[in-house]
Structure 1
Amino acid sequence: MTVLTEKRGFSLPRRQPLRIFARKIIPSDDGRMKIRIIKRLDLYILQNFALVFAGSFFICLFVFMMQFTWRYVNELIGKGLSLEILAKFFGYMAVTLIPQSLPLAVLLASLIAFGNMGERLELLAMKAAGVPLVRIMRPILVVVVAFGVGSFFFQNTASPKAQRLLRTLIISMKQTSPAVEIPEGVFYNGVPDVNLYVQRKNAETGMLYQLIIYKTDQGFDKAQIVLADSGKMEVTADRMHLKLKLWSGEQFENLQGQSFTGLQTASVPYDRETFNYKELLIAFDSNFNLMDANALNGLASAKDMHEIVADIDSVEQEMDSVGRSYYAAAQTDYFTAPRYFDADSTEVMQRAVRSTVSFDTIVAQTPPERLVMARRSAMASVQSFRSELEWKSLVTGEGDRYVRTHWIEWHQKMTLSLACVMFFFVGAPLGAIIRKGGLGMPTVISVVIFIFYYIFNTSGMKLARDGSWNIWYGMWISTMILSPIGAFLTYKANKDSVVFNFELYVSFFRQLLGLRSHRHVFRKEVIIDDPDYATMPRRLGQLRQACTDYLAKAQLLMAPNYVRIFFRYVPDRDVQAIDEEMETLVEELSNSRNPRVLAELNHLPILYANAHTSPFHNKAWNVTAGLLLPVGLVLWLRMWHFRLRLGRDLKQIVKSSDNLIHIISDSELTDKEKQQNDGNL
């Protein structure tokens, strides 16, 4: 049986064969043989990406773990935590930080992988064989999408449980008493209700010398002071107490009771005890007590999306009922005028006698004590209403913050998953553009991009949590910024467009700001065609005359016409002709062997033929800039600057043309050049 297969993709020379397709013949249900084609190109690309991704992921995870550990370093150091507790801490931490490390790892790995292939010219070979960049990215894109989906389910299943256990562990470590490490020469207050002073200690034997102990466990009025020549500290078997073994010392205890006042300190009795050996038992719980993890079930990060939505619904229902009760209370307490009578208001108004009484008259006729009472009653009512409203505002604000925090966590599970795909569309084309592999340039670029993403994401999250922004806008702003950047880079890389050619940007800003460029004409090592010196003086004279005539009629010192440069754009053909003729002469005279000619060519300026006529070549852009008066005024001043510079450049062309005519017309130079030409022939 003859099997015909179509050859696709690209092929390398026979010295380095690369099989892009593998043929595998498998039996079908109907007894026939069919061929499965597995593309080796995809396997090769995936192999390059997988090796880099594995290293990048563990590096990113390690960096995030170190940053997280530094935040809680005070809870870890000096607590005497066992290796089991530390292993749980770092294990839970690694699980919770995997969703954050995955996007950065994808960005770094894709940037390095495509940078390596670009640096080894493998991307160039694939594109030359007709394989577009999007086709090259496809196998890795499938894997990255799988990473994103896996990250989403991971955040919805394993991450909430790890978050709850990690937060429980951190709170328990904060509540754990620190290990006793008594320094020398200072008072140590790490033990509750006890201050210890040790002048010297022996680290090998654990002996303490010249001890001073202040015990205030029974209150400051019955403080105990213990002096000892030496001692030793131990922890009891249950780790609930500290045992102090003291030798050769004294103990003082103040016997002052409640009947003694501070003015009778001279007659206050005290107790003094001298001992050769004494043991003190101090209450000190050094055990690690893990709190109940169920106490943190209300934490937003410890819930999956279904639990988050259910809790939000219940809280919103509760807040709605609270809001309705607050509104009903406000209608009766704050927004209702007092009623002084229940009679028919129409009948009362008909029988009432109209009279005008000013408020000042009422105040003047009221006794002062009643005015004071009225003011105090009003102030008390206002203060009561204010306190009540502040409390209600606090309750509603906490409820709103609770809901916002849960919605933020709900959105974050999707944004972090989608960030894996977004970062791939940034890293892969960027690596194909810069064509630099390794850990140097790609690492720097990845860190800078991730920092900007982190800034936008964190800022949007904080503004959404505070209520300044809408929740979906604050949580998705980083994705909205990252998506067009990835699409733009992918489009440019697929079209092989020049994006990071810094010379183009330098030239653009140099022309925009009006910065001058200088010529650099050097003597050539090999000259094929010598300049035609016989016609050069005439051509230089024509160039000189064209510049002189233009200076006479253009009046470049005057300010440009605003309407003409923005609304009636006409290209300056005369300056374009001068520029073309000058560049032609420079190109021909650059073949000269005379250093004086080459030096004078470097004095010729580089003209911007249309910079003094209009800011843009597009008529619509010119009209828009002219209508925007502040922008148009700046561009108008720029046009004037270029007109003044054009006048100076034309004068320099006239001067350099005269110098070149003088140099070329020199008979001695002409004879030497002819002799050199004859010798070369």
Structure 2
Amino acid sequence: MSKKIHIKRLDSYLLQIFLPLFLMTFAICLFLVLMQFLWKYISDMVGKGLELKIIAEMFWYAALNLIPLALPLSILLASLMVFGNLGEDLELLAIKTSGISLLRTMSPLIVLTVFISIGAFFFQNNAMPHIQTKFYSLLISIRQKSPELDIPSGVFYRGIEGYNLFVQKKDRKTGMLYDVLIYDISKNNVDEMAVIVCDSAKMSMSKDKLSIVLTLYHGQQFQNFEGGTSSDNREFVPYSRENFEEKQILIPFDANFNRIDDSALEENAASNYMAKNIKQLKSSIDSMQCEMDSMNIIDRKTMKNYSFFTFRNSYPPQQKDSVILKAKKEIINIVSPDSLFASKDLQTKSSILQSAYAKAENNSNEFLFRSMSKISTQRIINRHWIEWHRKFTLPFACIVFFFIGAPLGSIVRKGGLGMPIVISVILFIIYYIFDNVGYKMVRDGVWVHWVGMWFSSMILLPMGVFLTYKAMNDSAILNGDTYAAFFRKIFFIREKRNYPVKEVVMDKPDYREIARYITQLSADIDTYLSKYRKLGYKTYWTDNQYEEELIAIKNKMEFMLNMVSNSKNSFILQKAEAYPVLIQHQRPFRANSVMARILMYLFPIGIIFKLISFLFERRIANDLEKIKKLNAELLHLVDEALKAENIAV
């Protein structure tokens, strides 16, 4: 009973740790992706005089629209931090010591992640269509809004359609413009262009914000007559000139924010996929697929009747089948087309070729036009499939990221925000790249829709399974010493022994026992070298005795050196430090195993591994010869130490 209470308390403890961290990381991740959105669309919003209410609404819908991007990253980061903190504080070690496996420890958070994934699915299916419609309709409305009018000084301003304005300087406090030049080309006719020059002007908006009111002071207006001659060799064009002290002109300029209706997106066949749930998407896909099938059938019939076999259309309708059947039976007796064409005169040949070329080009243009409609329909179908799969890929990505983050945190054993953020960002970038590759491949019709949309999950799922397996078996996959030792073996980098003189020795060395071990070790090395100095191909794959005997020699040498390390004799310790660290033979599989025998019979592959192993065999043989030599020198030093002890006694 106490055990059950203990497990329940553990579950409650993990949930109490995970939930605040998850909410915090979710807020951080959502803020980061929202800033990315801001940098992407800032040019569409800046300088348009938007109200704070519109900007706040835009950010609200953008935040809701970016939840699918922030949710998997926040689960990954939170799970990494939770299990990293547990490992760093040795709490995870205490949990494992009490007999609770890592998978059982993860179980309450697995259940919570599954519930979050289910909630994410319903959010994607029910709320996301409405959110995306609101978001994109608002974004299009902001993009279509005219920018806030701010005429620069010293350059021509073309931000007002149909007008070019030049202002030499302006006073920002009073709003006055000086040395103003205006080209009125709103009538799109050079003969009706007007030019206005004035000393100063003042600009304001009309009350309905549909026009700019320009009050001009001390200037002239030049305008061509509408009925002027259009001759290219004219020397004079009639125009009018008007001098004024003060003049007002209205320039059409809509400065209002006009929101487009959501129904414009929902009724648009090219973009209404974002406003549909799973059922509506599948229904639209089926109807469009039926439309595509019917177009393909019509095209095949058209191609058959009006492209390849157009001559059959000249047959009498009631005798068409019998004429075709008779032609098939008598086709052997018909003269070949090449010889028939060669018998014609040059003019007839030219006429035949021109007619064939014209028919081929007409057919090509016709079917190209037909294919454009089918390509457009297929793109819309691909967009629908993308949106359909996204309803499922987000919940699944949440589960996959948890099974990556939790075991990775227990392996790394680093809490806080430093290492988890680095690992999370790297993994999420990998996921984001693969997800975008799959999305673009499906959108362009290169990959099948389910392959492209599940591509990132198919890449990361094996990683999650692998990390979970390694974490459950307490693997040192991310231990730096493990990789350092591996690369030392691969590149034959020697490890150095260090035996300093100990100030306090608990067990004094027994030199007679050490001498006996040295003698036995040299004998074992002679036996080993006589048997395995030259390792045959079959022996390499089938005999595991040479590896076991090498391990026995290594263990005996390490035990002897451990006894020697207690010596006070500096010469003996220096000699012990010269002993090499023995390595093992490197093979892909254990000798005499099933896979080892398979590789042995696959001779071209097996011989490659045997050639690679030759480097290790040569190093082992050289190290054993060196150990024999050092044994003789160390035995001499031990004998001298024994004599010194006897004299002292």
TM-score class, shorter-chain normalisation, is 0.7 to 0.9
- Which range moved further: 334-343 or 545-554? 545-554
Structure 1 residues 645 and 43: CA distance shift in structure 2, 3 A: closer
Instruction: Give the conservation status (yes or no) of the 8 Å contact 2:585–2:616.
Output: no
How much does 1:52 deviate? 1.0
How much does 1:54 deviate? 1.4
Match of 1:623 in 2: 597
Structure 1 residues 305 and 489: CA distance shift in structure 2, 3 A: same
Counterpart CA distance in 2 for 1:487 and 1:359 is 66
Counterpart CA distance in 2 for 1:300 and 1:323 is 23
* 1:313-356 Cα shifts (integer Å, max 9, x gaps): 2222322322222222222112325147769879999999x896
Instruction: Give the conservation status (yes or no) of the 8 Å contact 2:439–2:452.
Output: yes
Structure 1 residues 665 and 509: CA distance shift in structure 2, 3 A: same
Match of 1:220 in 2: 190
**Which runs of structure 2 are paired with 1:576-591 in the superposition (5 Å)?**
578-591=553-566
TM-score normalised by structure 2 residue count: 0.86
Match of 1:520 in 2: 498
Counterpart CA distance in 2 for 1:361 and 1:310 is 55
* 1:512-567 Cα shifts (integer Å, max 9, x gaps): 555443333333332223334467667656756776787688665xxx54344235
Instruction: Give the conservation status (yes or no) of the 8 Å contact 2:585–2:617.
Output: no
Match of 1:608 in 2: 583
**Which runs of structure 2 are paired with 1:636-647 in the superposition (5 Å)?**
636-647=610-621
* 1:406-425 Cα shifts (integer Å, max 9, x gaps): 12211211221232233223
* 1:71-109 Cα shifts (integer Å, max 9, x gaps): 222211122211122122112112222233222222222
Counterpart CA distance in 1 for 2:462 and 2:88 is 26
* 1:559-605 Cα shifts (integer Å, max 9, x gaps): x5434423566526775565444333322222233444333323221
Structure 1 residues 550 and 478: CA distance shift in structure 2, 3 A: closer
* 1:200-256 Cα shifts (integer Å, max 9, x gaps): 222222222233322221233433333333322222111111122233333333458
Structure 1 residues not aligned, in runs of 5+: 1-5, 12-19, 21-38
Counterpart CA distance in 1 for 2:215 and 2:143 is 30
Instruction: Give the conservation status (yes or no) of the 8 Å contact 1:567–1:622.
Output: yes
Match of 1:7 in 2: 2
**Which runs of structure 2 are paired with 1:153-192 in the superposition (5 Å)?**
153-192=122-161
**Which runs of structure 2 are paired with 1:424-503 in the superposition (5 Å)?**
424-503=402-481
Tell me the SS of whatever aligns to 1:89: helix
Instruction: Give the conservation status (yes or no) of the 8 Å contact 1:240–1:286.
Output: yes
Structure 1 residues 171 and 567: CA distance shift in structure 2, 3 A: same
How much does 1:146 deviate? 2.2
Structure 1 residues 670 and 75: CA distance shift in structure 2, 3 A: farther
2:303 pairs with 1:303? no
Tell me the SS of whatever aligns to 2:214: strand
Q: Equivalent of 1:322, from 282, 287, 295? A: 295
Structure 1 residues 536 and 54: CA distance shift in structure 2, 3 A: closer
Instruction: Give the conservation status (yes or no) of the 8 Å contact 2:541–2:592.
Output: no
Counterpart CA distance in 2 for 1:406 and 1:40 is 46
Tell me the SS of whatever aligns to 2:180: strand
Structure with the higher fraction of residues in helix conformation: 2
* 1:18-62 Cα shifts (integer Å, max 9, x gaps): xx8xxxxxxxxxxxxxxxxxx554433322222111111111111
RMSD: 3.6
How much does 1:467 deviate? 3.1
Structure 1 residues 272 and 627: CA distance shift in structure 2, 3 A: farther
Q: Equivalent of 1:403, from 351, 363, 381? A: 381
Instruction: Give the conservation status (yes or no) of the 8 Å contact 1:10–1:129.
Output: no
Letter paired with 2:145: T
Structure 1 residues 105 and 251: CA distance shift in structure 2, 3 A: same
Q: Equivalent of 2:345, from 356, 360, 366? A: 366
How much does 1:169 deviate? 1.2
Match of 1:414 in 2: 392
TM-score normalised by structure 1 residue count: 0.83
Counterpart CA distance in 1 for 2:146 and 2:588 is 76
* 1:96-154 Cα shifts (integer Å, max 9, x gaps): 22233222222222222233333333334444444444443333333322222222222
Counterpart CA distance in 2 for 1:605 and 1:270 is 104
Q: Equivalent of 1:237, from 204, 207, 214? A: 207
Tell me the SS of whatever aligns to 2:179: strand
Tell me the SS of whatever aligns to 2:454: helix
Match of 1:566 in 2: 541
Letter paired with 1:205: T
- Which range moved further: 484-493 or 238-247? 484-493
Match of 2:47 in 1: 78
- Which range moved further: 530-539 or 166-175? 530-539
Instruction: Give the conservation status (yes or no) of the 8 Å contact 1:200–1:210.
Output: yes
Instruction: Give the conservation status (yes or no) of the 8 Å contact 2:163–2:183.
Output: yes
Match of 1:28 in 2: none
Instruction: Give the conservation status (yes or no) of the 8 Å contact 1:411–1:472.
Output: yes
Q: Equivalent of 2:286, from 313, 321, 328? A: 313
Instruction: Give the conservation status (yes or no) of the 8 Å contact 1:10–1:131.
Output: no
Letter paired with 2:610: W
Counterpart CA distance in 2 for 1:495 and 1:645 is 32
Structure 1 residues 255 and 618: CA distance shift in structure 2, 3 A: farther
Tell me the SS of whatever aligns to 1:521: coil
Instruction: Give the conservation status (yes or no) of the 8 Å contact 1:524–1:591.
Output: yes
Instruction: Give the conservation status (yes or no) of the 8 Å contact 1:61–1:101.
Output: yes
Tell me the SS of whatever aligns to 1:267: coil
Counterpart CA distance in 2 for 1:548 and 1:146 is 66
- Which range moved further: 97-106 or 118-127? 118-127
- Which range moved further: 183-192 or 233-242? 183-192
- Which range moved further: 237-246 or 454-463? 454-463
Counterpart CA distance in 2 for 1:102 and 1:527 is 59
- Which range moved further: 356-365 or 156-165? 356-365
Letter paired with 2:169: R
Instruction: Give the conservation status (yes or no) of the 8 Å contact 1:236–1:243.
Output: yes
Structure 1 residues 229 and 646: CA distance shift in structure 2, 3 A: same
How much does 1:498 deviate? 4.2
- Which range moved further: 571-580 or 301-310? 571-580
Q: Equivalent of 2:255, from 282, 286, 289? A: 286
Counterpart CA distance in 1 for 2:296 and 2:609 is 58
Q: Equivalent of 1:389, from 360, 363, 367? A: 367
**Which runs of structure 2 are paired with 1:18-167 in the superposition (5 Å)?**
39-167=8-136
Letter paired with 1:466: D
Counterpart CA distance in 2 for 1:614 and 1:375 is 68
Counterpart CA distance in 1 for 2:334 and 2:359 is 31
Instruction: Give the conservation status (yes or no) of the 8 Å contact 1:411–1:475.
Output: yes
* 1:416-449 Cα shifts (integer Å, max 9, x gaps): 1232233223323333333322211122222222
